[in-house]
A and B are shown apart, each in its own frame.
Chain A
Amino acid sequence: MGKIKVENLTKIFGKKPKKALELLNKNTSKDEILKQTGMTVGVNQASFEVQDGEIFVIMGLSGSGKSTLVRLLNRLIEPTTGNVWIDGVDLAAMGAKELREVRRKKLSMVFQKFGLFPFRTVLENVEYGLEVQGVEKDERKATAISSLELVGLSGYEHMYPNELSGGMQQRVGLARALANDPDVLLMDEAFSALDPLIRKDMQDELLDLQQKMQKTIIFITHDLDEALRIGDRITIMKDGSIVQIGTPEDILTNPENDYVERFVEDVDRSKVFTASHVMKRPETVNAEKDGPRVAMQRMKDTGISSIYVTNRKKELLGIVSAEEVSKAVKENHSLLDIIEKNVPTVHPDTPLHELFDVVSTSPIPVAVVEDGLLKGIIIRGAVLAALSSGQEVNKDESTTEASAS
């Protein structure tokens, strides 16, 4: 079982939710229920599971119920029906005291408009969660300072929130959430109020932090690019219901229905796909056992004019061209004598839009290298194909272990 399990979670806003609930069970639409009963369906029978250490993005337009859903997870809003289990404990069954304990120890929240207390200094804001737990003064100060360090705000401890920029304020919000050392971070449109450049920085920083900390993060956003960038899995919501749950690739390549499809239509694919999506399995020769003759034969067989050279461990050594190889055969040189070591390389996670330059200026296929190992090669046509079709080109090729990364 995952870290968080949500089953049939429903929230209806209004005075007599029972009636609306009956209609909901008969599959009546949200609009129809509003017309008939005057009640609003906030979240409609949401079920999902979030794994430990995962970034789970909940995405939807305004009014899709995503903010309500995240508040149901820490009971800032009381669910109408349904269950939330955190580490196997039912949240709905908790009394006020137990719920407070869970909020103090397991769940922290980051807010869209930061939710900082204006009359407290940055340090006092970050201390808040520990202060209400009754942590001793020196200890909570030390924790808060190291938490601020983590988000890169050392030296700002004694300023007030209104003296900081939006991006910095949200770092304070993040530091405050992290100071409690929670298992789960709930981030409600945490970066939506920031301007695009700062937002991108914050996303990168969150990903960096996540690598260090391995928290479970539930991230709410209305921005698909953001969702695709940071999400391990993405949930798309519409009218309070979950439309599709999947990895960013699932969402892009197999949209569940028209709604999702229209959503992903406008996505800039060059930012979503990476080198690993478009690379091909490379033809290589092993310099430790193969000579120029093998290289020549292999190039002839596959009809290519140059071939990458690796060692036994598949570490990239360089490239040799057909011309040089035939010369080497005549003059009896080894592959290592004629190898060209200066080859264009990229990392498998390089986004497509950063590949254009390298691929278009290089006369030879670009090598995809991770930790020195040759994972694949990229030929010019593959990049264009990925952009136009949205399909991954290496899907049906017999790819190496590289595509698993």
Chain B
Amino acid sequence: MSLLPRLPLADGIDAFVDWLKGIDGLFDVPKEFIGFTVTHLSNGLSAIPAWLFILLLTGLAFFATKKKFGLPAFVFFGFMLIENLGYWSDMMLTLSLVLTSAGISVILGIPFGIWMAKNKTVESIITPILDFMQTMPAFVYLIPAVVFFGIGMVPGVIASVIFAMPPTVRLTNLGIRQVSTELIEASDAFGSTPFQKLFKVQLPMAKKTIMAGVNQSIMLALSMVVIASMIGASGLGTKVYYAVGRNDAGGGFEAGIALVILAIILDRLTQSFNRQKGVA
């Protein structure tokens, strides 16, 4: 077995990382941008009084579910509980991290998905990369994130973006490819340009599937944001992380339940938006 010398894979990666770090602006620009976004988003969200935020979201849930009472009631009491337990500001921080990373995932993911759908070669290159991104243990992303961006919010967001993007890319690709040939032919036969075909036929037809991907991305971003608390992305995750460190079952449960409530609300809200808009 040991006839071959051990391959210096780890050394190679280290060298590559050093080389990347040497490039000016490659990491500073996204770092600035993400830092700016997260800070302002969380400041903005925190500036809203808790009671107003709760009322707004309850109302939103009420209309998103077409005036049913289940989800709005859950939103109302769930947020009241979080507020009561004193996790409100942590939750706002977590929410802004999730929204930022999910937002970036979607903004990057949908164009990649479209590109994959339009081009077979691109699809065959991106698919294994997506597989890699999804199967690599989530913790591993923390390392390069820290190496390139230090600790704090920004590497947390970066790691979350990498972890959360694949579903959006995959489902955008799938949604566009699933559009029936007859509709594509109809759009071509009436003389649509490729752009018109994309925006007037393919994307509207794929909307539901794409939204399912976006929903998945938000959920993954939430789970990654919690893990990212290990590298200093504060929020509810930090509370869980501390509780684990101190063997504090009660505190862990409280922070945990707050996360679960946030997750359920995000999930159901995005799902009901998806259902509401698909008329046909």
A→B interface (CB under 8 Å): 71, 74, 76, 99-104, 107-109, 111-119, 128-129, 131-133, 160-162, 176, 180, 186
Known: A160-B279, A160-B280. A132 touches B182 (CB 8 A): no
Chain A residues lying within 8 Å of B278, measured Cβ to Cβ, are: 119
Known: A118-B280, A132-B200, A160-B280. A103 touches B190 (CB 8 A): yes
Chain A residues lying within 8 Å of B279, measured Cβ to Cβ, are: 119, 160
Contact B280 A132 (CB under 8 A): no
Chain B residues lying within 8 Å of A116, measured Cβ to Cβ, are: 186
Can you list 27 A-B contacts (CB < 8 A)?
Answer: A76-B188, A76-B189, A100-B192, A100-B193, A107-B189, A108-B189, A108-B190, A109-B190, A111-B182, A111-B185, A111-B186, A114-B182, A115-B182, A117-B200, A117-B201, A117-B204, A118-B205, A118-B280, A119-B279, A128-B187, A129-B190, A132-B196, A133-B191, A160-B280, A176-B190, A180-B190, A186-B189
Q: Which 4 A-B pairs have the closest CB atoms?
A: A104-B191, A115-B186, A103-B191, A118-B280
Q: CA of A111 to CA of B181 in the docked complex: distance in angstroms?
A: 11
Chain B residues lying within 8 Å of A128, measured Cβ to Cβ, are: 186-187, 190, 200
B183 at the interface (CB under 8 A from A): yes
Q: CA of A100 to CA of B196 in the docked complex: distance in angstroms?
A: 12
Q: CA of A129 to CA of B190 in the docked complex: distance in angstroms?
A: 5
Contact with A along B245-280 (1 / 0, CB 8 A): 000000000000000000000000000000000111
- Of all chain A residues, the one with the shortest Cβ separation from B185 is A76
**In angstroms, how far is the closest chain A Cβ from the Cβ of B207?**
8
**In angstroms, how far is the closest chain A Cβ from the Cβ of B94?**
35
**In angstroms, how far is the closest chain A Cβ from the Cβ of B235?**
38
Q: CA of A104 to CA of B186 in the docked complex: distance in angstroms?
A: 12
**In angstroms, how far is the closest chain A Cβ from the Cβ of B279?**
7
Chain A residues lying within 8 Å of B205, measured Cβ to Cβ, are: 117-119
**In angstroms, how far is the closest chain B Cβ from the Cβ of A89?**
15
Contact B191 A129 (CB under 8 A): yes
Cβ contact of A100, chosen from B186, B191, B201, B204, cutoff 8 A: B191
Chain B residues lying within 8 Å of A71, measured Cβ to Cβ, are: 185
- Of all chain B residues, the one with the shortest Cβ separation from A101 is B191
Contact B191 A109 (CB under 8 A): no
Chain B residues lying within 8 Å of A100, measured Cβ to Cβ, are: 191-193
Chain B residues lying within 8 Å of A118, measured Cβ to Cβ, are: 205, 280
Q: Which of B162-200 contact A (CB under 8 A)?
A: 182-183, 185-193, 196, 200
Contact B191 A161 (CB under 8 A): no
Chain B residues lying within 8 Å of A103, measured Cβ to Cβ, are: 188-191
Q: CA of A118 to CA of B205 in the docked complex: distance in angstroms?
A: 8
- Of all chain B residues, the one with the shortest Cβ separation from A161 is B280
Contact A109 B182 (CB under 8 A): no
Q: A108-B190, A109-B189 are in contact. List 17 more A-B contacts (CB 8 A).
A: A74-B189, A76-B188, A104-B190, A111-B185, A115-B186, A116-B186, A117-B183, A117-B186, A117-B201, A119-B204, A119-B278, A128-B187, A128-B190, A129-B190, A131-B200, A132-B192, A133-B191
Contact A115 B185 (CB under 8 A): yes
- Of all chain B residues, the one with the shortest Cβ separation from A129 is B190
Known: A117-B204, A118-B280, A119-B280. A132 touches B193 (CB 8 A): yes
- Of all chain B residues, the one with the shortest Cβ separation from A105 is B191
Q: CA of A129 to CA of B207 in the docked complex: distance in angstroms?
A: 22
Q: CA of A132 to CA of B280 in the docked complex: distance in angstroms?
A: 22
- Of all chain A residues, the one with the shortest Cβ separation from B204 is A119
Q: CA of A115 to CA of B189 in the docked complex: distance in angstroms?
A: 11
Q: CA of A118 to CA of B180 in the docked complex: distance in angstroms?
A: 11
Chain A residues lying within 8 Å of B193, measured Cβ to Cβ, are: 100, 132
Q: CA of A111 to CA of B187 in the docked complex: distance in angstroms?
A: 11
Chain B residues lying within 8 Å of A107, measured Cβ to Cβ, are: 189
- Of all chain B residues, the one with the shortest Cβ separation from A97 is B193
Contact with A along B192-230 (1 / 0, CB 8 A): 110010001100110100000000000000000000000
**In angstroms, how far is the closest chain B Cβ from the Cβ of A209?**
19
Known: A119-B280, A162-B280. A113 touches B182 (CB 8 A): yes
Chain B residues lying within 8 Å of A129, measured Cβ to Cβ, are: 190-191
Chain A residues lying within 8 Å of B183, measured Cβ to Cβ, are: 115, 117
- Of all chain B residues, the one with the shortest Cβ separation from A111 is B182
Chain A residues lying within 8 Å of B191, measured Cβ to Cβ, are: 99-104, 129, 132-133
Q: CA of A314 to CA of B186 in the docked complex: distance in angstroms?
A: 52
- Of all chain B residues, the one with the shortest Cβ separation from A103 is B191
Contact B280 A109 (CB under 8 A): no
Chain B residues lying within 8 Å of A104, measured Cβ to Cβ, are: 190-191
Q: CA of A401 to CA of B144 in the docked complex: distance in angstroms?
A: 92
- Of all chain A residues, the one with the shortest Cβ separation from B278 is A119
**In angstroms, how far is the closest chain A Cβ from the Cβ of B197?**
9
Chain A residues lying within 8 Å of B201, measured Cβ to Cβ, are: 117
Chain A residues lying within 8 Å of B196, measured Cβ to Cβ, are: 132
Contact A109 B186 (CB under 8 A): yes
Residue among B182, B191, B204, B205 with the highest chain A CB neighbour number at 10 A: B191
Q: CA of A103 to CA of B204 in the docked complex: distance in angstroms?
A: 23
Contact with A along B67-82 (1 / 0, CB 8 A): 0000000000000000
**In angstroms, how far is the closest chain B Cβ from the Cβ of A188?**
9
Chain B residues lying within 8 Å of A176, measured Cβ to Cβ, are: 190
Q: CA of A114 to CA of B201 in the docked complex: distance in angstroms?
A: 15
**In angstroms, how far is the closest chain A Cβ from the Cβ of B260?**
35
Q: CA of A314 to CA of B73 in the docked complex: distance in angstroms?
A: 87
